Chain A
């Protein structure tokens, strides 16, 4: 196959590209320039899009002996990922930009361009597996549960999966680092990236404040309605958050208080005891199926945040029942879970297989 290997400048994508070369594919390395004005060097946590990362990616391609190019996707990234991220926060939701980037950039803009230029697939360093089965191509969790990234890939449909290659899904991170060192890839020791790549220094609240301005409002006790404090902008708060509330006085019963709801229309942040965070029914809109849509209820698991534990659930699809007129995905949990933020992804699993995902719109308790 002719393969485009997306090289971020990190260790995972480097080893993924190396394995694609070993598998006999004709590989071209591509570094995605996503930032409008790349910073030269970042200290601390590694992001993407720095000059240093671009250089590291180039050196990986040199070592592997493959051609290397930088593709400018800054326009698409700004529009489809960054603007969407800001708009979601402005609407009181907590988006996951990595899913968005996989759906719209890596396996859409990049994949389309690659296919158009005569390539067959895009390889990335994501930890997930694609299995060929009698039922067709399936997306599965990685074998290393600590690194599994199937959650952020659950937006890929069958067509996108057909053009995806994840050479690391069967390995552990330790194996990948060791392999990078063995192959002489200089990025073997590079730290993992954790932050949102386009938010420098990890200060998401400050970054959002620069874009959305201050929108002061009240912090209110969800049970009594009593005003407990004030804040500069409701978008800085996420359901389930405990830190940064700056409430002067403790709750009457001494229990910790959490954000249990955010109302951007009135700029109100509601807080309460953890019991208010408990939910057993989660709804999501805008479903994306990693294969055929389920024909009936799925007895499986759902995962409700990037590094969350899977929860047993029955998942049903109600055609046309979502507020946007599309299909509504309803997960009835066996047991309760806590702190589900609208905007995050509800990912449906059947064992290790990723069935699909939806964007959480509501979480309730029976």
Chain B
């Protein structure tokens, strides 16, 4: 494996962003050097359009859908917003009584916040699908909702795999239940694509992101079954299926396609290797530090995520101490406003806020090495001991 971060750090935050794969970097730089708007009719435009369409076909092939289903976006967040807001608005415009939105309680903010917005500003009646203590959604709850309210439901959204604890959701089952009632089903697969075999034909709508799969930041896609026409978020040239406007980013799309294709090609070997490293990390931590709990579903989990709770410890303190010795990880929850809020994912799984504060996410990816894990295991026991002492002073 190429060593992208050198000796300086052990990068254990691939779920935040993973290094760009060489295949994607090559595709990006090659296309960036070219001129041509894919919507132009001359030779340069046709050349760029060909890159776009070949990229679309490659992504569609990797995800088991047809090329026309793939809508390029500026990233996972836009794809999720387009699906949630756009499908809700379109479904309500068809039938004003469709105000019910069902979303899992552990969604990423890119889904959570537009759903909240619909509840607060656009008259949606939001139902949060509960999860068990492993983070898996309750399909029984969904069934009874569908039995009681099917005609009122505008859409259902359940993520493919959780970005904090790594739990894989029973998405195909949930989507099949919704399909029985003709209710559109969206899945945020930002963490799943590239890490799991994802059959996008199982759902009506699916979001993916470039930079979580070894592509660049600022590019992603919404995979959308034909016949679904979400109301656009931004209006303009209508370049992507009249759903998404803006000059199509041929270079970004080419890089996204290269990353997705490469991650499908080496999926089995790579994920087995990453899973092995992750398991070694978890075993090593559990064997060297007392009072650690692993969160999430050990049987159905993203291969690269280890989410751990260290009792009697502030996650912030631990992160600082590990950072100081070149080990980079994450609290795993958003803290855009400065004050890290307790993770809604952990709270939904039944953890109390105080315990949740002692949690860290270590995430591995295609460029991770044994040495990254070893560096963490070398540094962690002393860091935990120190962070626990710091906590107990108060």
Is B390 part of the contact surface with A, judged by Cβ < 8 Å?
A: yes
Chain A 187-229, CB-CB to B under 8 Å as 1, else 0, gives 0000000000000000000000000000000000000000000
Residues in A neighbouring B132, C-beta threshold 8 A: none
Interface residues of A in 63-85 (CB under 8 A from B): 67, 69-72, 74
- Tell me if B183 is interfacial: C-beta within 8 Å of chain A: no
What string of 1s and 0s marks CB contacts (under 8 Å) between A97-139 and chain B?
Answer: 0000000000001001101111000000000000000000000
Flag if B337 contacts A51 (CB, 8 Å).
yes
In contact, B339 and A115 (Cβ under 8 angstroms): no
Asked if B321 lies at the interface with its beta carbon under 8 angstroms from chain A, I say yes
Stretch in A28-36, A230-238, A326-334 touching the partner: A28-36
Nearest B residue to A73 via CB reads: B339
Contacts of B387 in A (CB 8 A): 116-117
**Most chain B CB inside 10 Å of its own CB: which residue of A36, A69, A116:** A116
From the candidates A31, A112, A118, name the one contacting B393 in the complex (CB within 8 A): A112
Q: How many residues of B contact A (CB 8 A)?
A: 20
B323 and chain A: residue at smallest CB distance: A67
Task: Tell me if B316 and A115 are in contact (CB < 8 A).
Answer: no
CA of A35 to CA of B338, assembled, Å:
9
A126 to chain B, nearest CB (A): 22
> Min CB distance, B31 to chain A, in Å?
32
- B339 proximity list for chain A (CB < 8 A): 33, 35-36, 38, 70, 72, 74
A67-B324, A69-B320, A70-B335 as given contacts; A117 in contact with B390, CB under 8 Å? yes
Does B47 sit within 8 A of A, measured CB to CB?
no
CB closest residue in chain B, given A72: B339
Q: CA–CA, A109 to B394, complex, Å?
A: 7
The bracket for how many chain A residues form the interface is 20 to 34
Q: Say whether A185 faces chain B, with CB atoms less than 8 Å apart.
A: no
Mask, B331-351, CB within 8 Å of A = 1, is 000010111100000000000
- B143 located at the interface, meaning its Cβ lies under 8 Å from any Cβ of chain A in the complex: no
The residue of chain A having its C-beta at the shortest distance from the C-beta of B337 within the complex is: A38
Residues of B within 8 A of A116 (CB): 317, 386-387, 389-393
Q: Which of chain B's residues have a CB closer than 8 A to the CB of A37?
A: 337
Bound complex: CA A116 to CA B394 (Å): 10
Interface: A54 (CB within 8 A):
yes
A53 and chain B: residue at smallest CB distance:
B338
Determine whether the beta carbon of B390 is less than 8 Å from that of A70: no
The answer to whether A28 and B391 touch across the interface, beta carbons within 8 angstroms, is no
In the assembled complex, the Cα of A247 lies from the Cα of B383 at a distance in Å of: 63
A-B CB pair tally, cutoff 8 Å: 58
Nearest-CB distance from A180 to chain B (Å)? 22
* CB-nearest residue of chain A to B357: A72
CB pair A117 B386 closer than 8 Å: yes
Contacts of A31 in B (CB 8 A): 338
Chain A: minimal CB distance from B352 (Å): 14
Query: In the complex, which residues of chain A have a beta carbon less than 8 angstroms from the beta carbon of B394?
Result: 109, 112-113
Chain A residue nearest to B340 in the complex (CB): A72
For the complex, give the distance between the alpha carbons of A69 and B338 in Å: 9
Instruction: Mark interface residues in A157-171 (1 if CB within 8 Å of B CB, else 0).
Output: 000000000000000
The docked-state distance in angstroms from the alpha carbon of A80 to that of B335 is 23
Closest to A30 in B: B320
Q: Given the complex of chains A and B, what is the CA–CA distance between A113 and B390 in angstroms? A: 5
CB distance from B145 to the nearest CB of A (A): 32
- Docked-complex contact A38 and B317, CB < 8 angstroms: no
- Beta-carbon nearest neighbor of A69 in chain B: B320
- Determine whether the beta carbon of B338 is less than 8 Å from that of A118: no
Query: Once the chains are docked, how many angstroms separate the CA of A72 from the CA of B340?
Result: 7
Q: Which residues of A contact B337 (CB under 8 A)?
A: 33, 37-38, 51
Tell me if B316 and A51 are in contact (CB < 8 A): no
A4 CB to nearest chain B CB (Å): 10
Contact in complex: B323, A117 (CB < 8 Å): no
- CA A354 – CA B48 in complex, angstroms? 73
Contact A69 B389 (CB under 8 A): no
* Binary interface encoding of chain A residues 306-348 relative to chain B, with 1 for a CB under 8 A from any of its CBs, else 0: 0000000000000000000000000000000000000000000
Q: Using Cβ atoms and an 8 Å threshold, which residues of chain A touch B324?
A: 28, 67
**Interface contact B338-A117, CB-CB below 8 Å:** no
Interchain CA distance A69-B337 in the complex, whole Å: 13
Docked pose: A112 CA to B317 CA in angstroms: 12
A113 touches B338 (CB 8 A): no
List residues of A whose CB falls within 8 A of some B CB.
28, 31, 33, 35-38, 49, 51, 54, 67, 69-72, 74, 109, 112-113, 115-118
- 10 inter-chain pairs at a CB distance below 8 angstroms, sorted by A residue, are A33-B337, A38-B338, A69-B316, A69-B319, A70-B335, A70-B340, A113-B317, A113-B394, A116-B317, A117-B321
B residues adjacent to A (C-beta < 8 A): 316-317, 319-321, 323-324, 335, 337-340, 386-387, 389-394
- Top 8 A-B residue pairs of the complex, sorted by shortest distance between their CB atoms: A116-B390, A33-B339, A33-B338, A112-B393, A54-B338, A72-B339, A116-B393, A117-B390
